[in-house]
Amino acid sequence: KIYENIRFQVYDLEIMLLAKKNIPKTDIYAILGEEFSKSRSNIEVAKELIEADVKIIQYREKDKSKKKKYEECKAIRALTKEKGVTFIVNDDISIALAVKADGIHIGQDDMPIEEVKRLAPNMIIGLSTHNESQAKLAIEKEADYIGVGSIFNTTTKENVEKSEGLNYLKWVSENISIPYVAIGGIKEENIISVKDYGGYCFAMISEITGAENIKGKIKSIRSKLR
């Protein structure tokens, strides 16, 4: 019995360590936002993303009620869990914990990372960064991955912090050892330049959730990346 318990603990530890590395290299990080998804619900879009074999999905809703966000995240957690897709919740730690998400993504103005780590010690923690000093601090505070942006202009997020874009990405690719996710105005037509500047993983909202044919769009973006 004791032996069995130890075996399960080792297994849990392995799963935890693997989960920390779940940022796919040279692939898509899809972010859900219903206002950009052409009258399709977040759940419908999540299903399409999963069918298209996207490996990581973030839920990002700023204006919905807590109840609605919880219900959607619970449904998306069930869908992602079944297919082994990493599920990250933006900003809201209580929802991330309640639905047992794999991770939480926070911005510079959200709850401090040390608090998030304390509340959710086993979760993947992503932190948005916009310049070198924020990236260095994210490493110091042991973020599991960083967002790097905005790479290009975007109308999806209001008041995006200014960034050196591709040049900042290049610096990150040469100086930062944890996984990083480029974000902001990334489209099929410019993704190659993001890759050329050291892109590791590519986050998109409007280009993917707003595509007429989501699966077709993912296939076509991946053919450019490979």
Q: For binding to ligand 3NM (CB under 6 A), which residues are involved?
A: 128, 147, 149-150, 154, 156-157, 160, 183-186, 204-207
Q: How far apart are the first and last CA of the chain?
A: 48
Residue type, 91: D
State the nearest-atom distance from the C-beta of 167 to ligand 3NM, in Å: 14
Say if CB 184 and CB 160 are below 8 A apart: yes
Catalytic status, residue 195: no
The least CB distance from residue 203 to ligand 3NM, in Å, is 7
| Nearest distance from C-beta of residue 15 to ligand 3NM, angstroms | 28
Cα–Cα distances in Å, from 107 out to 28, 160, 161, 187? 20, 11, 11, 22
- Verify whether residue 60 is a known catalytic residue: yes
Nearer to ligand 3NM, 22 or 36 (CB): 36
**What's the closest the beta carbon of residue 34 comes to ligand 3NM, in angstroms?**
13
1 is catalytic: no
Which one, 81 or 107, has the nearer CB to ligand 3NM? Answer: 107
Q: Which of 60, 69, 77, 217 is catalytic?
A: 60
Q: Choosing from 37, 69, 77, 128, which is the catalytic residue? A: 128
**Identified catalytic residue from 37, 157, 163, 206:** 157
Residue nearest ligand 3NM, CB atom distance: 149
Could you give the count of Cα atoms lying within 13 Å of 218 in the half-sphere of its Cβ? 22
Return the active site residues.
60, 128, 157
